[in-house]
Amino acid sequence: MLFRHCFLLLALLLFTGSIQAHPHVWIDLRVSPQVNEQGQITGLRQAWRFDPFYSLVLIEELEKGGPEDELDQRLDQLALEVVQNLENFDFFTQVTVAGKRQGFEPVTEYNLMQVGRRIEFSFVLPLQNPVTLQDERLQYQVYDPSYYIEILHAAGNELDTQQLPASCEVDVQEPSPPGDLVAKAMALDKDEKPEDPQLGEHFAETVNLDCRP
C-alpha cells in the first residue's frame, strides 16, 4: 500500500501531461555523456534532484511506510515503478543527431535515493545507436511537455565532460519564451490543461555537444 501511495504522489508530478500545467515542481538536472572505448556516446547518465518542498513530502510518506531499516527497499520499489512509467515518455528527453531524433534502449541502470533532505532520481538512458563524436553534433533537451515540472541544469553543472575529449565544445542555450507565453503558463490553474501540448519545450534548455575537428 505504501508503494502505491508514494508512487501516486510521484506520478502526480511526473506524469501530468494530460491534467496539469506550469511549474509547481523544480528539478536540478545533471547530465554526463557515457562514452565507450571507440569514442562513441552510448547514452546519457542523468540525475534529477527534486526541490526541497516536494522532496520533503515524498520523504515523509516513505518514512511512514514501514520500519526505518526497510527504507532502502521502499526506495528501490518506488524507483522501479517510476522507471516503468517514464519509459512511456522517453524519460522527458529528446536527443537529435544531424537533425534526426534518436531512439533509446530500455533503462536498466537507475536509482532513487535521499541526499540530505532531498530526493534524487538517477538513471542511464542508453541510445539505440551510438554516436561517433568526431562525425556528428549531438543535441539534447530534457523537459516535461506539460511544464508542470521545470527541469533545468544545476547551476555550474550543465554537462559533465570528464569522459569527453578535450576538444569537445558545449553550448547551453537558455530558453527565451515570449512574454505572452510566460504569462499564459503562469496563469494556468493547477488542474488546467495547457492549450499547447508541448508547452514545456518553450521553457527548455537546449544543449549542443560538438566534438567535430
**119 pLDDT higher than 50:** yes
Are residues 167 and 101 in contact, defined by beta-carbon separation less than 8 angstroms?
Answer: no
Give the percent of the chain with pLDDT over 90.
48
**2 pLDDT higher than 50:** no
pLDDT tens-digit series, residues 160-192? 988 998 889 999 999 988 888 888 888 776 666
Are residues 185 and 194 in contact, defined by beta-carbon separation less than 8 angstroms?
Answer: yes
Residue type, 167: S
**18 pLDDT higher than 70:** no
Q: What is the mean pLDDT of residues 78-84?
A: 89
What are the C-alpha distances in Å from 167 to residues 15, 33, 122, 137, 139?
Answer: 38, 15, 27, 13, 17
pLDDT band at 81 (very low <50, low <70, confident <90, very high): confident
Q: What is the mean pLDDT of residues 42-48?
A: 97
| pLDDT of amino acid 191 | 66
pLDDT band at 3 (very low <50, low <70, confident <90, very high): very low
| pLDDT of amino acid 29 | 97
More confident of the two residues 182 and 193: 182
What are the C-alpha distances in Å from 65 to residues 26, 53, 114, 117?
Answer: 25, 19, 15, 17
How many Cβ atoms sit within 10 Å of the Cβ of residue 97? 19
pLDDT tens-digit series, residues 64-73? 888 878 888 8
> In whole angstroms, what is the distance from residue 64 CA to residue 70 CA?
11
pLDDT tens-digit series, residues 136-163? 899 999 999 988 889 999 987 778 988 9
pLDDT band at 30 (very low <50, low <70, confident <90, very high): very high
Q: What is the pTM of this model?
A: 0.87
38-42, 55-59, 64-68, range with the lowest pLDDT:
64-68
Are residues 137 and 143 in contact, defined by beta-carbon separation less than 8 angstroms?
Answer: no
